[in-house]
Chain A
């Protein structure tokens, strides 16, 4: 590390983001729309009303879980890109729990739904984890392939066993006792008007998850082992850490976090199982973790940013003739710049710091 920490966690992501928005602006200009106006609509749509905030934070909740899932695995140098499939299975777990009993109250249903989502998500991550730990099959390959299996499995279940009467491939509505209180209800109780949105108590669950992940990684022995394994496998083995154990445990935690996304998306919003419950959040989680530097606080901030991009993008598509695909382009550019092209910015910034900046303390340490 030749960069001061603030530059690494704030400056570089910010430059990446601005670059991405600049290029997006050029693309918007090319298709004949006003980029400034487009930006205004996106910002206003995402954070300009309680409706916008509701959806922004609802999407952010999804990304917090998938982002944390990727982040935890990153610390053990495991690249889990199967968040999509693990969340799909989590959705199945949540749906099975919600449909199993005529739940009397959400406070009873929620803990079991959390358990269902986490166990199913973890189980889906366990197979690639085992293959990696015992057979050396690369986790990137196996987790992404498991995404396809998960999606095919859900389609199969939704046209057979779980299909509700009617024509659409979806499960029955969950019983009313499983409905989570949403932001409108909660704010309504204290007399604040909040527009209808799917934002629900799972957002708080996401915040708790952030804290617990931080606690796990930096305040427990297991977290230390995970990070040690990620930094250097030979050193970890020398210290008596079992690679098999760490790989399995890390991936189980990662899969469980991805599966928890379903509490928000399935129990919180759709209230029934659909074919695609994840909507790409598993992949956005990778960008969120990259941008958040795999730290829970960073993940939280990046998740809110991507939530705003999602909601603002939806609003842009609705308000202007900018086609939906354009919104995807903007999101993809942000992912490209923050993830893949990170070094493009890092190089010059590091150079600039070396040339003009005070020599940061970290430099001398690294030089030793």
Chain B
């Protein structure tokens, strides 16, 4: 009987603390892990920065499998997290189902559009950022062959590849662009061994600059590039520090800023609808720091800044693969 009472007391205490935790923002880290040095980590860093700046607290959980998406999202909502950020296109169909059940809760989804009154869809103009790093790759290449390693073969990643190929061709019309995808399932986001193998195969075909847009798989790509003595380009987060002197630059996709903004706006400032982060508002870009300053010439930076200004002004149109599922380059 005493044990029963104790248990009941404990459950009451937990219920109370859950009540007090109302309106903390929530973040659901997607498959591939929190420290993938790329997409998820960028989101995590954004949340951490928010914690540092505001001293607030947030709820965080990490997915382990596809089938947990729904329970995890619901549990976040039941716990009172608001707004809730979910990462990645794979959440779209689940969110479409869950969001209407919690009309009081605001959701934000990165990389996909979900049309619900309480959902903000954050999408990036990856093709524009990839265009810039594609230019830099072609300019840095000595063999005239550059390559691309994608994660899961989905339109989103083809969008990266297509922008990259267009940029490379803009800088050097005779360039050869090799493209490979790691796989067709979400496991392709976390397969560094296969990433390294693909990179080595591309090097054998003459590539001397490789761009990885593959989540955790990219770690293997960058490592193989370093081992074989060629240049690589990171993605999502600034990955220049991983192998200084080998990583040419990183195509940054400021998922961290997106998460930070959603957290900061909180419940009150939340705006549903589509939020496009592009070159214009620094949602995408290329990373320059001490680790890669010896690799990037002034000529490259000037060319990229010039192209960036023209893209923002609309003078250069970078084709978006997802607009018609086809690519004019590569």
Instruction: Judge: A and B partners, yes or no.
Output: yes
Q: Which of B11, B154, B155 has the most CB of A within 10 A?
A: B11
In the complex, chain A residues 35-51 whose Cβ is within 8 Å of any chain B Cβ: 40-41, 43-44, 48, 51
A198 close to chain B: CB less than 8 A: yes
Q: Tell me whether A43 and B89 are in contact (CB under 8 A).
A: no
Q: Is B7 in contact with A196, judged by CB distance below 8 angstroms?
A: no
User: Given A166-B92, A198-B70 in contact, is the A159-B155 Cβ separation under 8 Å?
Assistant: no
B228 within 8 A of A: no
Given contacts A55-B71, A167-B112, A198-B70, A276 and B7 within 8 Å (CB-CB): no
| A241 contacts the other chain (CB 8 A) | no
Q: Among A169, A265, A269, find the residue whose CB has the most chain B CB atoms closer than 10 A.
A: A169
List A155-171 residues whose CB lies under 8 Å from chain B.
155, 158-159, 164, 166-170
Q: Is the CB of A168 within 8 A of B10?
A: no
Task: Verify if A277 is at the interface (C-beta below 8 Å from B).
Answer: yes
Q: Is B7 a contact partner of A168 (Cβ separation < 8 A)?
A: no
Query: Is residue A173 within 8 Å, beta carbon to beta carbon, of the partner chain?
Result: yes
Closest to A164 in B: B93
CB distance from B25 to the nearest CB of A (A): 15
A44→B155 contact, CB < 8 A: no
Indicate if B313 sits at the interface (CB-CB under 8 A).
no
Give the interface SS of chain B, mostly helix, strand, loop or mixed: helix
- Min CB distance, B105 to chain A, in Å? 12
Residue A24 at the chain B interface, CB threshold 8 Å: no
Give Cα A3–Cα B231 distance, bound, in whole angstroms.
71
Number of interface residues of B (CB under 8 A): 30
- In the complex, whether B75 has a CB less than 8 A from a CB of chain A is yes
B62 at interface, CB cutoff 8 A:
yes
Contact A168 B101 (CB under 8 A): no
How many residues on chain A are close to B (CB under 8 Å)?
36
Contact A168 B93 (CB under 8 A): yes
CA distance A349 to B276 in the complex (A): 67
Q: Closest A-chain residue to B96, C-beta based?
A: A173
Q: Please report the C-alpha to C-alpha distance between residue A196 and residue B90 in the assembled complex, in whole angstroms.
A: 23
Tell me, yes or no, whether B265 is within 8 Å of chain A by CB. Answer: no
Known contacts A271-B97, A276-B67, A314-B71; decide if A167 and B7 are in contact (CB<8 Å): no
Residues of A contacting B62 with CB < 8 Å? 324
A92 at the interface (CB under 8 A from B): no
Q: In the bound complex, do residue B92 and residue A277 qualify as a contact, i.e. CB atoms below 8 Å apart?
A: no
Which of A210-247 touch B at CB < 8 Å?
none
Q: Is the CB of A269 within 8 A of B70?
A: yes
Q: Using known A-B contacts A44-B7, A324-B62, determine if residue A169 contacts B67 with beta carbons closer than 8 Å.
A: no
* In the complex with contacts A166-B92, A324-B62, A277-B67 CB distance below 8 A: yes
Give CA–CA (A164, B94) in the complex, Å: 13
Docked pose: A269 CA to B67 CA in angstroms: 10
A59's nearest neighbour on chain B, judged by CB, is B71
Task: Confirm or deny: A274 has a beta carbon within 8 angstroms of a beta carbon on chain B.
Answer: yes
Query: Closest CB-CB distance, A147 to chain B, in whole Å?
Result: 16
Q: How long is the Cα–Cα vector from A40 to B3 in the complex, in angstroms? A: 11
A residues 45-93 with Cβ under 8 Å of B?
Answer: 48, 51, 55
Closest chain B CB from A300 CB (angstroms): 23
Q: Is B185 an interface residue (CB 8 A)?
A: yes
Which A residues are closer than 8 A to B by beta carbons?
40-41, 43-44, 48, 51, 55, 155, 158-159, 164, 166-170, 173, 195-196, 198, 265, 269-272, 274-277, 279, 314-315, 317-319, 324
Query: Please, could you name 22 A-B residue pairs with CB atoms under 8 Å apart, sorted by A?
Result: A40-B7, A167-B89, A167-B90, A167-B156, A168-B92, A168-B154, A170-B66, A195-B78, A196-B74, A196-B78, A196-B101, A270-B70, A275-B66, A275-B185, A276-B66, A276-B67, A279-B65, A314-B68, A314-B75, A318-B61, A318-B75, A324-B64
Starting from the known contacts A44-B7, A167-B154, 18 additional A-B residue pairs (CB-CB under 8 Å) come to A40-B7, A40-B10, A40-B14, A159-B184, A167-B156, A168-B89, A168-B93, A168-B154, A169-B184, A173-B97, A196-B78, A198-B71, A271-B97, A274-B66, A274-B67, A275-B66, A277-B67, A314-B68
